[in-house]
Structure 1
Amino acid sequence: MPPNNSLPPKENALFKRILRCYEHKQYKNGLKFAKQILSNPKFAEHGETLAMKGLTLNCLGRKDEAYEYVRRGLRNDLKSPVCWHVYGLLQRSDKKYDEAIKCYRNALKWEKENIQILRDLSLLQIQMRDLEGYKDTRYQLFTLRPTQRASWIGFAMSYHLLGDYEMANSILDAFRTNQMKGPYDYEHSELLLYQNMVLAESGQYERALQHLNKFQSQINDKLSVKETSGEYYLKLKRFLEAEIVYEDLLKRNPENVMYYQKLIEAKQLTDPDEKVTFYDAYKKEFTKAIAPRRLQLTDAGPAVFSGLVDEYLRHGLHKGIPPLFVDLRSLYIDQSKSDAIEKLILQYIENLTSKGTFSSDPGEEKQPASALLWAYYYAAQHFDYKKDTDRALHYIDAAIEHTPTLIELFIVKGRIYKHAGDPVSAYQWVEEAQAMDTADRYVNSKCARYMLRAGHIKRAEDMCAKFTREGVPATENLNEMQCMWFQTEAAAAYQRLHQWGEALKKAHEVDRHFSEIMEDQFDFHSYCMRKMTLRSYVGLLRLEDVLRSHTFYFRCAKVAIQVYLRLYTQPLQDVPQTTEPDTENLAPSELKKLRNKQRKAKRKAEQESALAAQVQVKREQHHKARQQQEQGDPEAPQLDELIPDKLARAEDPLEQALKFLQPLRTLAADRIDTHLMAFEIYFRKGRPLLMLQSLKRAWGLDAEHPHMHDCLVRFRGWLDDNSDGLNDHVAAVIAKETDPMFGGRSAVQLSQQYLAGAGARAQQCALWAARAHRRLLPHAHAAALAAATALHYPDTTIQGCVEVLESLRDGDFGPCEKETAAYMDACHAKFPYALAFKPPQPLELPNHDDVPLKLKDLAINN
């Protein structure tokens, strides 16, 4: 390795110009200056110049050359902090944060007090949640730059995130007293609120309250001061003062539900009648407020509920409030309240139809014609919720006949069909609503969602294309916008259609969105401390820590795991090569038909190829435009293209499934499905201890879960079959830990007891128990089949019957064609609108791939 030769003045000036060009994003000029230095034979191998040339090339997108120059520069000058820093920047641009941290640490070995390297290191450490390392780095920055605000804030925050609240508060106190001088502004206000949050999280509510009262004149967010002080008074059981605070807040916003709940807590009201009286007082004080009237219904007893809900319903129907049913739906958990509402709604419809009033009392004011419409609308949703499809359709049809131009009516009718098990009619009615207002993005999105659930993915994409960027395929634009509701629904739709590769592609796209969101937080680490939005910043960090617990990720992970498990059990077969048809023995007329068919197929293939080429050109132009917009930043690493066929033919489907599972085991451990999916993977991998761990966690959440029972039976059987191959210590651990679950019972005994117990009470339990019983005792075919296909269970649903039907068709109960047909007939009688139980229609519908399907194209059973 040649020694580190410092550059002479002329070349040193050129090197400084390279640095300035990099900072000002003048990359081509920077390359010219680097060439001038490197063209001199004396400095052709100057390490720092080579490294800066590599960094500049990286910003121009020439990544391979960039790595080559940076590594070459590093080999020529291993003691240069510049070379190590540049190498770290290169690794950071590729999201290799751990490697970048190592490079920064090596750079600091040769220049311990380099502020820029320390700042970059601290950003990576907080990104990777290396909180101890972050604290050490912030301490170094604090000692080197004690007069800078960011040094104090970052140092205090490092202790806060580590849970050392006292030290964090001491640093903030010292900073506030020594560095912060008036006049006080928004940033000072945010600092005080952040310090108050630190005190509250330490559990010192009295001290936090004193701090808040002392500095409230310097805090701009007066609402936050009041809400926070009220919370502290409640925690300190100073109820009288809390009562004063929340009464004042209610005068400010009488529609805030939380204020009423907190005020009830402050007044220590526990009796429902006392709460009803409490709301009565605020109904009189805030005559136009809806919140006290609605909250009163939740606590009202049977004696007063009818009168109160009568008043509430009349107001909503008179005003024409569309979400009235959604507002009251939570009351339906109480059957008596549901019955009272039904009685009132039917009474309203009868009186409005005959007299135009809500009741038959003489002298009552006439209601507008729209009151009857909204009563029909409410009744349709009410009976749909109660699964009375016929009555729901009756009332929604009456509403449509009354006012055939109201979009909400068609959406509700579509929802009724959806709940009745007819997704095709459901999306047709929602599409009719969409046609009435093509500029409404909500209805457009709702229609696309219903199309996906009906399996019409192409139509859903065309529907979304009305609001996506022109010239770019709708799916690409939705992916770019991280439209995860569409992608999770599309993944589930592809799974139902057995298009495994497409389902996996959508799941991987959603997974990448979450990775991008994690990476995007990098930009906020320095920004939030500079702008003093410290409370929001801490909230962001905590959100990112549990990001993959979000419902969207759970759904896509579940689809991906289920698909990978199926592909492991039933791998895709290679598509056989098509052979040329035998044309020698064909009659002339048949040969002519065949030739015409081949020509049509060829033309169609050419058209599809041309269309695909156009789409590819537009895609490349779009990506090029995006890169030009982002030019100046180090290019992000190019992700592999997601090819459905390649995803569906993964060499290690179980390992791919584990990648989706791992975040769930940490962040969604409270969901039993997480551990059941884990068991399914580890069962196929033959990992007994991991199977045991998954079962224990699932057992702790719900010991009676039907899938849990099936896993337990299979694990018991696996242990019986593999007892000789287990290590003695492993066998001892398993025996000890499974004793509470097995209770000394064999797999057959477990199955029999579960089938006789939970399996006799619930449809899902019966199905899982019957499948396990049939698997263990093939001769008990009739008993298992009878238990699975029974329809007397109180929780029998359309989806549950569909699962039973799929199980019958999959052969879980052996050959049973007659039983399957009989079960379909019984389900059709119970759920007459559900498409899954109707015989296939002989009528062939026209191809609507390019033309939206209208109601006239397909008869709808009303």
Structure 2
Amino acid sequence: MMAQSQSQAQQQQLLSHKDGSLFRQVVRHFENKQYKKGLKAAEQILRKNPNHADTQAMKALIIGNQGHSQEAFALAKTALNNNMRSHVCWHVYGLLYRSEKNFEESIKAYKFALRLEPESVPIQRDLAHLQIQMRDYEGYIASRKNMLQQKPGFRQNWTALAIANHLAGNYEAAENVLTTYEDTLKSKPSRADLEHWEAVLYKNKIIAESGDLDKALEHLDAVGNKVADVLAVLEMRADYLLRLGRKDEAEAAYAALLDRNPENSAYYEGYIKAKDLVDAPPAELKKVLDSLAAKYPKADLPRRKPLDFLSGDAFREAADAYLMRMLPKGIPSTFANIKHLYTDPSKRDIVQDLAEGYASSNASQANGTSESGDKKDQFQSSVLYFLAQHYNYKHSRDLDKAMFYAEKCIALDPKSVDFLAVKARTFKHQGDFAAAAEAMEAARALDEKDRAINTKAAKYHLRNDQNEKALETASKFTQNKTVGGPLGDLVDMQAISYLTEDGQSYLRQRKLGLALKRFHQILNVFDLWQDDQFDFHSFSLRKGMIRAYVDMLRWEDNLRAHPFFSRMAISACQAYIALYDNPDLVHGPIPALNGQTNHTDLSPAERKKALKKAKREQEKMEKAEAEKKAALKAAKPTPKADQEDGKKEDTDPFGKKLLETKDPLQDALKFLNPLLQFSPSLVDAQVVGFEIYSRRGKWLLATKSLLQLKALDPSHANIAKYSARIESALSANDVDARIKTIVQQELNKTLQ
């Protein structure tokens, strides 16, 4: 009886020839992201076969990609109930879990699908991609071995298995995989076979990383003349020779590289190491660099590099020669090239003395020649611009002098964007953000086609908390056609710097909803960058760009160590701390009453009045935004293409849902955990870490942040205050005795 019912169920899953063809169309429409067409075809099949599990699963996958995840999971479960033995249903179930970033459940579903259909290439591929995404190297090795056994003639499978072993640290196994494939080739690859020679260079990289540099060099010498990437071969060979101590050969190798590119600082460092001049007297090292400067008369590096190690009169002479080479030409980057020297006060003072000397004399006296009027004016303006930047810089700041020289620059050339920009920077450092924004806007107006100055102007408006003006400025370089207008464009373009400045501006204004909205948008961008790896797991193998792919994976492992993330995460934590300390901010910034900015000191009646005013302002802002959106819709209807791609209007543009969280400190951990994991050396990261952990009553973690803060900055102003807070908490009876003991021991040991 049971066998009969199973047979009937299987018959119900069979489609007619016409419906089978229609089902294949559903799959194609999904792969081409034509979701409406795919949904229409799936529903056409289900009208005739309402319980066809594979079609239900594909329909679930389509509506899941349209953003309806709950309905998608419900339909996928229905499909599984209709046919538990369908590998398609289990595969779709895994894809849905992957879209929700529940990778563990996704892997379980993929593995169950493989039990039903062990030779399914799409399922094996998706499982392998998920394993490398999660850095499950052992699982990835197993999956790639299975794929290789099924298709041993497919080169990508050999390469992928080598990558799996390489990333897992199995260097010998990775090398053997690539060697085995090379031995199977019946004819020698031509020089035009880029995929093969890229794999050969990757094999050489594996040998070098295993530590066998002699073998790596021998292999490189054997294959190097056949590889199309000549520069990579030259760089690898020079590096191997230097690390092996073969200095004469390394010197010749780096000399050849310098002939190709005399502006690469790494080549100079390698050349100097090869000549054993790292600890040589400065005069001897300068002699070598002077010979290189004579050999490469247009190169800047051999003339600038001596400034790093010379001192005293020798430095003055070299700095004078360098500045007198750059300033008469009016090169704007002159100051940027040498400002790193200012960490040494003596060098900073010498540069300042030289530049002041140029400014106090005319150009012909400065360089000992008679110059034409135009060249004299160019030299004079370059010197004044240099001094304006010099006195703006943090290690040599004198803002009165900076403004004096900026004004003199503008007097010489009132239409110079650079001169107005340095004046704006001076206002910013003086704390006058309104004047800074006005000056930078004037600079932008001089060249409206310059994206760089447009970006600067928008940034300065944000520093002045002119969010609407900043968006209007930035919109001059956006399409303004997507859902959400200019801001939607900036989010789509992943303009991290703008979104960060915008969020920090709203944080200063205590508009926490908008601040958190921006910070979460940036968090989503970083998540998207991490998810983008999925596209490259197959693309890089298909194109044969293996070394770049491995470098990308290693870069992704430290993605959140980037300053863009840490700066945003610290601000997001500060916003959540403010929301926790002052829940009334959920209604918007609380206006000051009777001169009191701290509304906790207000009487109940005054507090009620302040909250009412805040709510009224919030409603007014929301109404204005709604009217603006309605006007935008009327003027520019949303294109159908955007709707097809699943782009929807943001239903929470002011971040109200983020503000309505019941546990702000728990939400802050989304930012704090990766911040402390990847940027533990940042003082501000440890500060917000202590503030959040102490409020959550996690005294061990709070103590850890305090100890890290003490190690990073022993004189930090908050150390005594934080220590007192911990002592106060330990004196309470609600802290576990074991925690008290550990914390007290650490504090006594470290903070004494």
Report the TM-score range of the alignment, normalised by the length of the smaller protein.
0.7 to 0.9
1:283 to 293, 300, 305: 293
Aligned: 1:544 with 2:551:
no
1:142 to 140, 144, 148: 148
* Aligned mates of 1:650, 1:317 — CA distance in 2: 57
Letter in 1 for 2:24: R
* Aligned mates of 1:433, 1:575 — CA distance in 2: 38
- Partner residue of 1:666? 677
Deviations 1:552-572 (Å, cap 9, x if unpaired)? 111111111111111111211
Count of equivalent residues: 704
Letter in 2 for 1:165: Y
* Aligned mates of 2:36, 2:458 — CA distance in 1: 47
Relative to structure 1, the CA distance from residue 369 to residue 113 in structure 2 (aligned partners, 3 Å threshold; closer, same or farther) is same
Relative to structure 1, the CA distance from residue 14 to residue 345 in structure 2 (aligned partners, 3 Å threshold; closer, same or farther) is same
Relative to structure 1, the CA distance from residue 604 to residue 495 in structure 2 (aligned partners, 3 Å threshold; closer, same or farther) is closer
Shift of 1:344: 2.1
> Is the 8 Å Cα contact of residues 53 and 89 (structure 2) preserved in structure 1?
yes
- Partner residue of 1:207? 215
Deviations 1:545-599 (Å, cap 9, x if unpaired)? 21111111111111111111111112116769xxxxxxxxxxxxxxxxxxxxxxx
3-state SS of the aligned residue for 2:211?
A: coil
> Is the 8 Å Cα contact of residues 451 and 459 (structure 1) preserved in structure 2?
yes
Deviations 1:25-45 (Å, cap 9, x if unpaired)? 1777766776676556xx653
Aligned: 1:436 with 2:439:
no
* Aligned mates of 1:732, 1:659 — CA distance in 2: 30
How do 1:183-222 residues align onto structure 2 when only pairs under 5 Å count?
Answer: 183-184=190-191, 185-222=193-230
* Aligned mates of 1:706, 1:390 — CA distance in 2: 29
Relative to structure 1, the CA distance from residue 218 to residue 637 in structure 2 (aligned partners, 3 Å threshold; closer, same or farther) is farther
Relative to structure 1, the CA distance from residue 510 to residue 150 in structure 2 (aligned partners, 3 Å threshold; closer, same or farther) is same
Shift of 1:648: 3.0
How do 1:286-685 residues align onto structure 2 when only pairs under 5 Å count?
Answer: 286-352=296-362, 356-359=363-366, 364-365=370-371, 367-385=375-393, 386-471=396-481, 473-572=485-584, 609-615=626-632, 621=638, 624-628=640-644, 630=645, 641=652, 643-685=654-696
> Is the 8 Å Cα contact of residues 311 and 347 (structure 2) preserved in structure 1?
no
Shift of 1:87: 2.1
Relative to structure 1, the CA distance from residue 33 to residue 379 in structure 2 (aligned partners, 3 Å threshold; closer, same or farther) is closer
- Partner residue of 2:178? 172
Relative to structure 1, the CA distance from residue 9 to residue 562 in structure 2 (aligned partners, 3 Å threshold; closer, same or farther) is closer
1:182 to 189, 195, 198: 189
Return 5+ residue gaps in structure 1 as ranges: 577-601, 744-862
3-state SS of the aligned residue for 2:190?
A: coil
3-state SS of the aligned residue for 1:342?
A: helix
Identity of aligned residues (%): 35
* Aligned mates of 1:533, 1:288 — CA distance in 2: 34
- Partner residue of 2:167? 161
1:84 to 81, 90, 93: 90
> Is the 8 Å Cα contact of residues 507 and 557 (structure 1) preserved in structure 2?
yes
* Aligned mates of 1:604, 1:49 — CA distance in 2: 47
- Partner residue of 1:775? none
Letter in 1 for 2:695: R
- Partner residue of 1:729? 738
> Is the 8 Å Cα contact of residues 14 and 33 (structure 1) preserved in structure 2?
no
Relative to structure 1, the CA distance from residue 47 to residue 434 in structure 2 (aligned partners, 3 Å threshold; closer, same or farther) is closer
Normalising by structure 1, we get a TM-score of 0.77
Relative to structure 1, the CA distance from residue 9 to residue 570 in structure 2 (aligned partners, 3 Å threshold; closer, same or farther) is closer
CA RMSD of aligned residues (A): 2.9
- Partner residue of 2:697? 686
3-state SS of the aligned residue for 1:265?
A: helix
Shift of 1:123: 1.2
* Aligned mates of 1:431, 1:262 — CA distance in 2: 45
Higher radius of gyration, 1 or 2:
1
Shift of 1:243: 0.5
- Partner residue of 1:821? none
Relative to structure 1, the CA distance from residue 685 to residue 490 in structure 2 (aligned partners, 3 Å threshold; closer, same or farther) is same
- Partner residue of 1:273? 283
* Aligned mates of 1:234, 1:564 — CA distance in 2: 52
1:228 to 220, 227, 236: 236
* Aligned mates of 1:459, 1:613 — CA distance in 2: 20
Letter in 1 for 2:516: L
Relative to structure 1, the CA distance from residue 667 to residue 565 in structure 2 (aligned partners, 3 Å threshold; closer, same or farther) is same
* Aligned mates of 2:459, 2:521 — CA distance in 1: 18
- Partner residue of 1:3? 6
* Aligned mates of 1:294, 1:11 — CA distance in 2: 75
Letter in 2 for 1:671: L
- Partner residue of 2:721? 710
Shift of 1:263: 0.7
> Is the 8 Å Cα contact of residues 23 and 45 (structure 2) preserved in structure 1?
no
> Is the 8 Å Cα contact of residues 95 and 106 (structure 2) preserved in structure 1?
yes
* Aligned mates of 2:622, 2:520 — CA distance in 1: 29
Letter in 2 for 1:625: A
Deviations 1:750-798 (Å, cap 9, x if unpaired)? xxxxxxxxxxxxxxxxxxxxxxxxxxxxxxxxxxxxxxxxxxxxxxxxx
Shift of 1:217: 1.9
Relative to structure 1, the CA distance from residue 15 to residue 708 in structure 2 (aligned partners, 3 Å threshold; closer, same or farther) is farther
Shift of 1:689: 2.0
Aligned: 1:13 with 2:17:
yes
Relative to structure 1, the CA distance from residue 502 to residue 183 in structure 2 (aligned partners, 3 Å threshold; closer, same or farther) is same
Letter in 2 for 1:468: T
* Aligned mates of 1:228, 1:574 — CA distance in 2: 57
- Partner residue of 1:788? none
- Partner residue of 1:752? none
* Aligned mates of 2:642, 2:165 — CA distance in 1: 40
Letter in 2 for 1:613: A
Letter in 1 for 2:366: S
* Aligned mates of 1:130, 1:505 — CA distance in 2: 33
Relative to structure 1, the CA distance from residue 552 to residue 326 in structure 2 (aligned partners, 3 Å threshold; closer, same or farther) is same
3-state SS of the aligned residue for 1:572?
A: helix
Letter in 1 for 2:275: K
> Is the 8 Å Cα contact of residues 572 and 649 (structure 1) preserved in structure 2?
no
> Is the 8 Å Cα contact of residues 94 and 637 (structure 1) preserved in structure 2?
no
Relative to structure 1, the CA distance from residue 101 to residue 636 in structure 2 (aligned partners, 3 Å threshold; closer, same or farther) is farther
Of structures 1 and 2, the one scoring higher in RCO (CA 8 A, sep 6+) is 1
* Aligned mates of 2:670, 2:449 — CA distance in 1: 41
Shift of 1:603: 12
> Is the 8 Å Cα contact of residues 293 and 312 (structure 1) preserved in structure 2?
yes
3-state SS of the aligned residue for 2:676?
A: helix
> Is the 8 Å Cα contact of residues 324 and 367 (structure 2) preserved in structure 1?
no
> Is the 8 Å Cα contact of residues 162 and 174 (structure 2) preserved in structure 1?
yes
> Is the 8 Å Cα contact of residues 488 and 507 (structure 1) preserved in structure 2?
yes
Letter in 1 for 2:437: Y
Relative to structure 1, the CA distance from residue 573 to residue 259 in structure 2 (aligned partners, 3 Å threshold; closer, same or farther) is closer
* Aligned mates of 1:520, 1:619 — CA distance in 2: 31
Return 5+ residue gaps in structure 2 as ranges: 589-618
* Aligned mates of 1:221, 1:54 — CA distance in 2: 46
Letter in 1 for 2:560: R
3-state SS of the aligned residue for 2:638?
A: helix
Shift of 1:343: 2.3
> Is the 8 Å Cα contact of residues 512 and 659 (structure 2) preserved in structure 1?
yes
1:24 to 22, 28, 35: 28
Relative to structure 1, the CA distance from residue 14 to residue 371 in structure 2 (aligned partners, 3 Å threshold; closer, same or farther) is same
* Aligned mates of 1:170, 1:258 — CA distance in 2: 32
2:103 to 62, 73, 97: 97
* Aligned mates of 1:649, 1:619 — CA distance in 2: 33
Relative to structure 1, the CA distance from residue 55 to residue 17 in structure 2 (aligned partners, 3 Å threshold; closer, same or farther) is farther
Normalising by structure 2, we get a TM-score of 0.87
